[in-house]
Structure 1
Amino acid sequence: MSSSERPVHTRVNHATSSDYGPGAGKGGEVLGIAVPELKRRLQQLASGECSAEEVSTWALEIMESDSPELDDEAVWTALDQLSGADLLMSPDTPLHGKKQFEEWLEEFVRKSSPS
């Protein structure tokens, strides 16, 4: 099935299980990237080290995969937020800004930290 024929991703509300393999849970390896990579992207966005457009493009590419790790709530939420980081309220007014990017980072750190 081509990527254009794939159904829209529907989130399943359940906790990540060990069925995904070692490290698939909190703080582990996700989608071939480590959870710290998501944190790094959020930090770069909040600090202005990278553009909202760059982070949005990266997040959308990850979200388009078929990986079962997308069901991890903390990962999906962070990717969803990053994918919309470049949205505009008007042609010259971003919908999200530095304060909100910092809040996303804090939320992700809280949700993805081992209990």
Structure 2
Amino acid sequence: MKFLHTRIRVSDLDNTIDFYQKLGFELRDRKDSPQGNKLAFLEIPGAEHFLELCYSPEFKVEFPEDLMHTCVGVEDVIAYCDKLENDGIEIWPGNWREKFADPANRQMAFVTDPDGYEVEILPIP
């Protein structure tokens, strides 16, 4: 058995694809479902699990804060967060540079996608 993908509803498919591509995801495929949804499939090269984005003009994206999040692992959290900031993505906590400078603190950061889904950033062990 394998965990294959995670599907999230989005309010603007192109904007959300752009956001996740800035995180390092690649667009694998786009298509329309038989139910009329517009779908995009994103993956991180080398990963088996992928992210399915689902857009439907009739569906309003609303969910409670902190309902769920995804997580990506990177080799160098500081360099990755620098890149994201340079691409205009806000990293939180806001003082991540000072926090990461202290070796006693765990390098863990978050970004928020256009619909409010959180993406956790951790070092690859």
Fold similarity call, TM over 0.5: no
Q: Which is bigger in relative contact order (C-alpha 8 A, separation at least 6)? A: 1
Name whichever structure is richer in helix by fraction. 1
In our comparison, the structure showing a higher alpha carbon Rg is 2
Instruction: Choose between structure 1 and 2: higher strand proportion.
Output: 2
TM class by shorter chain equals 0.3 to 0.5
TM score, norm. by length of structure 2:
0.31
TM-score normalised by structure 1 residue count: 0.33
